Amino acid sequence: MTPTKSGSFHLFRAFGIDVYLHWSWLVIAVYSIQARAHEYSSLVWNVAEYLGLFVTVLLHEFGHSLACRQVGGKSDQIVLWPLGGVAYANPPPRPGATLWTIAAGPLVNMVLFPLFFALTLLTGQLGWEGTHPDFYRFLETLTWINGILLVFNLLPIYPLDGGQILQSLLWFVFGRARSLLVATVIGFVGVAGLFGWAIYTRSVWNGVMSAFIFMNCWQGFKYARGLLRLERIPRRSGYACPACGKPPVAGAIWPCPSCGTPNDIFATNGVCPQCQVIADVAGCPDCGTASPVSLWRKRPPPPPR
Ligand SMILES: [Zn+2]
Ligand SMILES: [Zn+2]
Ligand SMILES: [Zn+2]
């Protein structure tokens, strides 16, 4: 339920991260620039304002991506679209690494907001509201944009950053599955509030955004239930995931690479009972990392970081 590369233009690549722009962004940009045309003496300022929003969102997403890579995760793609941006970030499945990856986005706005606020105050003192009204209005709007993005993103509604921060904090205490379950249930309450707000403001835009958040929260909830089911399946001793150290489940969950029959790779030594094809990699149900079967043989788990 998030925009992907398909339907998007590749804009540029920086720090090993590819930035894409979804086509719908341009449509909404034209609409928004027109709608605010009366705010400035020239449309050029409206374009500058929208680009300011674009750069703000981009920096926020770079915050997520770079933090994710800093803690050893994978993140090489950012897609921007009208509902903001999506940094495809895959931090290592540890609460601390996840917390830093999520928190780094709003931290960018926490730096930008006081910066633009100070610039607005300063130029206001210099009387630019009268002498350079367009530039003053531009600074004022960017202050608002950063303030609103900061507050909105920190709402504890999964999958907004605030909801994900809440989840990673709960993760330290309750584990991954339960923390996600709790965060998504709290998210449903918050989404109900967002829908109420959309109705109150009679805003189609807010309604669309609430629906989008609801669908992603629902997917998170289903994922949490899947993780809980996974926790109840008995584990096989003698093996451990080379990436996260968790033992594999004792069950036929790995599809054969040739015929697709679900096999218990660690009971059959990777040989498919149906077609005899040997599977040489096994994906970890806990962390998602695919590793060669030979590396799964029991080794001491990595020290907790
Ligand atoms: Zn964010
Ligand atoms: Zn693993
Ligand atoms: Zn097979």
139-to-40, 52, 134, 146, 152 alpha-carbon distances in Å: 12, 10, 9, 11, 20
Domain assignment of residue 102, given as a range: 1-154
279-to-48, 246, 254 alpha-carbon distances in Å: 54, 20, 9
pLDDT average, residue stretch 3-17: 81
287 is a domain residue: no
Among candidate residues 154, 175, 190, the one where a domain is terminated = 154
For the chain, what percent of residues have pLDDT higher than 90? 35
49 in the same domain as 180: no
177 in the same domain as 142: no
Whose atoms come closest to the Cα of 109: which ligand?
1
Q: DSSP characters for 125-193?
A: HTTHHHHSHHHHHHHHHHHHHHHHHHHHHTSS-TTSHHHHHHHHHHHHHH-HHHHHHHHHHHHHHHHHH
Both tokens assigned to 279? 């599977």
pLDDT in tens, 135-183: 888 888 889 989 998 999 999 998 899 999 999 999 999 988 999 999 9
193 in the same domain as 74: no
96 in the same domain as 54: yes
Q: Cα of 11 to ligand 2 centre, how many Å?
A: 34
Rounded to the nearest integer, the mean pLDDT of the chain is 87
161 is a domain residue: yes
Whose atoms come closest to the Cα of 230: which ligand?
2
61 noted as active-site residue = yes
268 is a domain residue: no
72 in the same domain as 2: yes
Among candidate residues 105, 135, 154, the one where a domain is terminated = 154
256 is a domain residue: no
pLDDT at residue 192, rounded to an integer: 95
Whose atoms come closest to the Cα of 257: which ligand?
3
138 in the same domain as 160: no
69 in the same domain as 97: yes
Quote the pTM value. 0.80
pLDDT in tens, 87-104: 788 888 889 999 999 999
137 is a domain residue: yes
Q: How many domains does the chain have?
A: 2
Among candidate residues 154, 177, 198, the one where a domain is terminated = 154
Catalytic residue among 39, 49, 61, 231: 61
298 is a domain residue: no
pLDDT average, residue stretch 15-25: 85
130 in the same domain as 20: yes
187 in the same domain as 100: no
129 in the same domain as 43: yes
Q: Cα of 65 to ligand 1 centre, how many Å?
A: 10
1 in the same domain as 91: yes
Q: Cα of 158 to ligand 3 centre, how many Å?
A: 39
Q: Cα of 56 to ligand 2 centre, how many Å?
A: 35
